[in-house]
Structure 1
Amino acid sequence: MFDNLTDRLEGVFKKLRGTGKLTEENIKESMQEVRMALLEADVNFQVVKDFIAKVSEKAVGLEVTKTLSPGQQVIKIVHDELVELLGGTTEQIRLDGRQPVTIMMTGLQGSGKTTTSGKLAKILKEKGRKPYLVPADIYRPAAIDQLQVLGERLDIPVHPSTTDMKPVEICRQAMTVAGQKGYDTLIFDTAGRLHVDEALMGELKEIQSAIQLSEILFVADSMTGQDAVTVAEKFNQDLEISGVVLTKMEGDARGGAALSIKSVTGKPIKFVGIGEALDALEVFHPDRIASRILGMGDVLTLIEKAEAVVDKKKAEKLAKKLRQSTFTLEDFLDQIQQIKKMGSLDQIMGMIPGINKLKQLKDAPKPDEKELAKTEAIIRSMTKKERQSYKIINASRRQRIAAGSGTTVTEVNRVIKSYSAMLKMMKKMRGKPGLVTGQKRRKVPKGMRR
């Protein structure tokens, strides 16, 4: 996400870093480039104008500190203003106060409301809530079925709605059922349209009047840029939304919607969808997103993702295997699966500080999901014995593995060679102080050495 904007801003700040002294002239020149970068990212014109004015005002007459260069100070100002532009603070679903918590999902057709409803229910269930999914879209073919399938996959109850019922009656019935069965969080998946119309708004207002809603979330496709902002503004005027969920962020290289929507509507982005998987919904952190935009990475999110997928007992077992040099291809396969759970390689690498500079190098390695999938297929085509002891894999076994994985013998050889090289590297690390074992070797006096 934001790849185009990050690349443009990186070029601007590269010039600033080499600046010995900041003048009104070079600040004006830099801000003009930042302005163009934001407009090309499809950020609202008025939002860009206000942003540049604030940064310029703070940068002109800046007192140079000893710890930061003039260029670094301007970058810090841009970072701080970006955080404010994106919402300032992290805002999540309000779970305290009146029970049950009631959340109405709104938005146009195709924005991803139904899938997002399932993803949100999963997050809330992991927090110890008892969510109840309520299909209130009686118009779109299979909308009710889709939510029921999601509920089954997530082991979350779904209200038995039918297309001959009125949406407001569905919501009222669901409230009654929730009270009887102890569900503390209701998520109403409402209908969308291809465009905003009176019938749609009338139906949503009817639900709003009948149910005391804790949250009204507007779900928008980030790929539609300023169109998403315009529609969000209309929904907010009619319904007074409480927050925004931006979907398809993983494919949004520009980021105009994310950078405009808070300023235009006054309502925060609460979540972002970063893929089709049911765990691909993230809490929106303005400070972390600002750091990603400026190529500073997002280490906190990376750590959180790792903690969410890594089994502590497995990690301890793996550390022991590394110390004893008993790391097998079975363990290698397990590590590939752990990485896949964290997201795509592009997403993971995008959270590493400084990775944008590395990507700009001609010979820089590119993350390749296909190669990772091939490696996984090759290891899965091996027998358990072969995974435990790779040295028994002779020529005929390699041919069988290649045929079973849909790859070539050369590709099988490459995986085995990479694994073998990794073992050798681990063996070398094992003998170095503080590496793998985590212990330092004590210095032995000359007279006591053997």
Structure 2
Amino acid sequence: MEPYRLTATQALSNIRNGSLTVEQYARSLLSRIQERDSAVQAWAYLEPNHVIEEARRLDRVPLGDRSPIHGLPVAVKDLIYTKDMPTQYNSPIYDGHAPKLDAASIMILRLAGALILGEVTWFDYTTKPGKTTTTEFASAQGGPKTCNPHDPTRTPGGSSSGSAAAVGDFQAPVGVGSQTGGSVIRPGSFNGVYAFKPTWNAISREGLKFYSPILDTIGFFARCVDDLELMTDLFDLEDDDTAINEFAVKGAKFGVAKTVVWPKAGPGTKMALESAVQLLRSHGAEVEEVELPTGFDRMPEWHMALTESEARATFLSEYRLAKEKLSPFLAGRVENVNKVSRAAQLEAYDGIAALRPKIDEIAKGYAAILTPSVVDEAPLGLQSTGSPVFNSMWTALHTPVINIPGFKGANDMPIGISLVAPRYHDRRLLTVSKAVGAIFEAEGGWERKL
């Protein structure tokens, strides 16, 4: 097997036992990027020579001084500060912008010996360094040049599209993204990878360019749950309850929450959720539908009120600096073209806050709650990144969510199903997801063909 096809856990094991060097691993990934970059265009900035230099430096670190993730290559969304490459937010206002310091999340990765990758796909491969692409300031409007690796005529999702596509195409084992509405879970589903959005604020967001301070959450992409657990170990995510190392689907109880937006579900998602329920039951689990109480039907409305009202403050500086370089969509947010009142903003803050402990209590009755990750498989075209309608509720509720791949739509494109847990039950959710993911991937019907 070529090194680039290894999961992070497999590659790190080989690095530790001496059968693979960090440089060999990096060269294999760079070769994959060069082979596939014209089709996928996942990178917004990458300098191969710098990557090799860093890999060689990491290889010189004595074995006794290495952390468990030493040598792990990571794809970073171009919304997170990195001190040795531009952070441009896919905005002409910040063309060539180079921060002086790493974001907190990047600092933690570097101190543990991670190898930060990067390359600009719409520039010359040999001369421009890089990070993974994003939509403008991680908004829901417009798409970057990144294509879905499983079908280049389809969107990879947004706004963490580059990170998800890079992991889905074997160009990186792990990716870092962020979610305001559905920008981790949706591209995870579209690209056929595991995507994990932890509990809000469980990971430092310092150095992340905010869209909404009350919603934005750092998240991760990987091709297996073991790799997500590597990241949660690194970032010290811990549950109050005693950690479980094993979970059996047989005898477990799961809930299914279709939510108020279920009428928007396409045939692929309907079939995926039905198949997920049948598979869990066939493996001995109890599965029941969850009827969410009054109030949860307001979540789409309230999430929209928060994103629109918070964007007014977030992008006011760019609006005043260079309105002509800001997209009409974001300029409209600053101008409040949809007339979101302060009363509506307050109602959204207070209404969502009141529902958070309620969803915690409901979710505690289950091993996890199953819910759709997407409307359907990735839509055609690159101008739209798809709808976050099935994600925004869980983002606003601050719950941990993971997309589990395994199902497919009418065009053989991947469709995932999300598992949700109470706030700060992140580690338990990953343990449950490992068992559930093994079933969905083996029996769900979608096969990775790249």
Q: Above 0.5 in TM-score?
A: no
Larger radius of gyration: 1
TM-score (norm 2): 0.28
TM-score (norm 1): 0.28
Greater helix percent: which structure? 1
Higher relative contact order (CA 8 A, sep 6+): 2
